Amino acid sequence: NLQLTPQELKILKECQQNAVSQRGLPAAAVSFGGVYYFMKTGKITTRNPLVLMSSAITGFLIGTMSYRSVCMEKLLALPESTLKERILQAQGKRPQV
């Protein structure tokens, strides 16, 4: 069982909020807007609203996942972190002593 430190919890919460607000929602909006534009100009012939919804969801997922590396850097920068040790072990690296 992994016990997270208050610093780790703070960073994880920040990462979750930033991933959504800085990457997920903008990517969803761009994806939705792009598909909507192509539908209006006739480059995409379907008028199915599921196409718009799925493009927004896909953009949101890709946007939030793209923030992962930023979160990893923040976690790895912590001086004493059990989560840092787990991340380094998963990457096959040795934690610095």
Domain spans of the chain, in order of start: 6-90
pLDDT value of position 97: 55
Compute the average pLDDT of residues 16-23: 98
What mean pLDDT is reported for the chain? 93
Tokens of 32: 């939705």
Tokens of 74: 């923040």
What end-to-end distance do the CA atoms of the chain give, in Å? 22
Q: Report the predicted TM-score, pTM, of the whole model to 2 decimal places.
A: 0.83
Are the CB atoms for 15 and 71 separated by under 8 Å? Answer: yes
